[in-house]
Amino acid sequence: MTPERYQKFQQVLNRRQLDLTVITEDVHKPHNFSAIIRTCDAVGVFAIHAVNSRSSMPIYNQVAKGSEKWVACHTHTNIESAVSDLHQQGLKVYAAHLSKQALDYRMIDYTKPTAILLGAEKSGVTQKAADLVDGHIIIPMLGMVQSLNVSVAAAVILFEAQRQRLAAGLYERVHLAPDIYEQMMFEWSYP
Amino acid sequence: MTPERYQKFQQVLNRRQLDLTVITEDVHKPHNFSAIIRTCDAVGVFAIHAVNSRSSMPIYNQVAKGSEKWVACHTHTNIESAVSDLHQQGLKVYAAHLSKQALDYRMIDYTKPTAILLGAEKSGVTQKAADLVDGHIIIPMLGMVQSLNVSVAAAVILFEAQRQRLAAGLYERVHLAPDIYEQMMFEWSYP
Ligand SMILES: C[S@@+](CC[C@H](N)C(=O)[O-])C[C@H]1O[C@@H](n2cnc3c(N)ncnc32)[C@H](O)[C@@H]1O
Ligand SMILES: C[S@@+](CC[C@H](N)C(=O)[O-])C[C@H]1O[C@@H](n2cnc3c(N)ncnc32)[C@H](O)[C@@H]1O
């Protein structure tokens, strides 16, 4: 490995955020899931959570640009397990969900430990998931079509989180524990 | 047509922004182009511009959710014609482009007449286009992968524009001239 490559790994690991994540609920289309994980890499998400009731593994395509190597994906077979795992880790879970009680997505403080739940392209966030989470958030829609593409919605919210975390200096201190840091460095260096 | 449908058309036409648009430079993948036009609908873009050097028409798929009906698309066979058309209309054109001189995308005043130029997935914005525009803008990347999916980059910038235009009250007055307004209402009502 070149020294430049090692430095790049350090720079990226130094900024990884353990307490900012995404849960996808049955987001199956490879181009959607791939674009989401690529965006997660860009905002410094350490790991994401995929709930797949139909299949066991998310499928990536070239849209991911290899980001599945840099962002771990934990799979869950049901939404309860995903939400309760994150609640136990002290995260608030907000569903990106076009409901009556949804708040404008900019009203959330994303410098706090936060997970964003995203729903399937056709059916959206399930009622079960909508009931389990700590709140609903919405991106204002001013046109004819009711919803955004799911990877677009994910990005708009995650870059608001990135903006807030940049302003709060959260990318300027290391969040990973030393042992995890070493392990990641090892995994990234020797594929 | 139901009165509710007519009201919806009015509401959407009342908010359409003539002076906020997108130019895509050889963005061919249907899921990318479709997600971009769907986002444009949501932020109130009236019409977009597609430069297609290889094929004559952009191709939509189900990701567009029918938004190609609500947002007109002007096609150009070369980038010069697209940029000079918009310059003649008084718009500034900013390339979303990962260059050394690129400014953070939030530093732009999108309440002014603005077009955002987006490049192809593999090759990005061409040198020719980069030279023709009024400036380059970049979305901060904090991970391993160098760029975002093009429809994601478009959305992040367009929702910053939407935020600024909402704050400036630009969605509260009608921008379309009466004859265009009537024509759009006619086209939308009788497909
Ligand atoms: C295509 S949408 C689902 C549409 C579905 N028909 C519904 O009514 O929920 C897919 C997912 O993207 C996210 N999404 C799309 N547009 C959104 C918006 N304007 N605000 C918040 N989330 C949105 C949500 O997580 C949603 O479940
Ligand atoms: C996948 S990128 C192109 C990558 C190409 N290899 C390059 O170096 O330009 C496709 C388009 O998305 C937009 N884009 C992607 N990430 C961006 C970012 N971080 N800032 C600004 N624009 C971006 C640009 O318009 C770019 O041309």
Q: How far apart are CA B78 and CA B132, in angstroms?
A: 12
State both tokens at A87.
Answer: 């609640």
Residue pLDDT, tens place only, B3-51? 999 999 999 999 999 999 999 999 988 899 999 999 999 999 999 999 9
- Quote the pLDDT of residue B61: 82
Which residue lies with its CA nearest to atom 9 of ligand 1?
A124
- Quote the pLDDT of residue B174: 97
Q: How far apart are CA A3 and CA A1, in angstroms?
A: 7
Which of A70, A147, A156 lies nearest to residue B156, judging by beta carbons? A156
Can you list the positions of beta strands (E) in A65-153? 72-76, 92-96, 103-104, 114-118, 135-138
- pLDDT per residue of chain A (191 residues) written in tens, 0 to 9: 899 999 999 999 999 999 999 999 999 888 999 999 999 999 999 999 999 877 666 777 888 888 889 999 999 999 999 999 999 999 999 999 999 999 999 999 999 999 999 999 889 999 999 999 999 999 999 999 999 999 999 999 999 999 999 999 999 999 999 999 999 999 999 86
**Helix-, strand-, coil-residue percentages of chain B, each rounded to 5:** 45, 20, 40
- Quote the pLDDT of residue B78: 93
For ligand 1, the distance from its centroid to the CA atom of residue A187, given in whole angstroms, is 35
Domains of chain A (ranges plus CATH)? 18-162 (3.40.1280.10)
- Quote the pLDDT of residue A110: 98
Cβ separation A144–B38 shorter than 8 A: no
Can you list the positions of beta strands (E) in chain B? 20-25, 47-51, 72-76, 92-96, 103-104, 114-118, 135-138
Question: Which among A190, A165, A150 is positioned nearest to A32, based on CA atoms?
Answer: A150
Instruction: List chain A residues with CB under 8 Å of B15.
Output: 142-143
Question: Could you tell me if A49 lies within 8 Å of chain B, comparing CB atoms?
Answer: no
**CB distance B134 to ligand 2 below 6 Å:** no
Average pLDDT, chain B: 94
- How many CA atoms lie less than 13 Å away from B34 in the CB half-sphere? 16
Instruction: List chain B residues with CB under 8 Å of A44.
Output: 142-143
Q: State the DSSP code for A164.
A: H
From B129's Cα to the closest Cα of chain A, the distance in A is 24
Which of A41, A144, A156 lies nearest to residue B70, judging by beta carbons? A144
Taking the complete model, does pTM exceed 0.95, yes or no? yes
From A140's Cα to the closest Cα of chain B, the distance in A is 8
CA A20 to centroid of chain Cα atoms = 7
Where on the phi/psi map is residue B133: left (φ > 0), alpha (ψ -120 to 50), or beta? beta
Residue pLDDT, tens place only, B68-99? 899 999 999 999 999 999 999 999 999 999 99
Q: Are B153 and B117 in contact (CB under 8 A)?
A: no
Query: Which residue shows structure tokens 């130029």?
Result: B117
- Quote the pLDDT of residue B57: 66
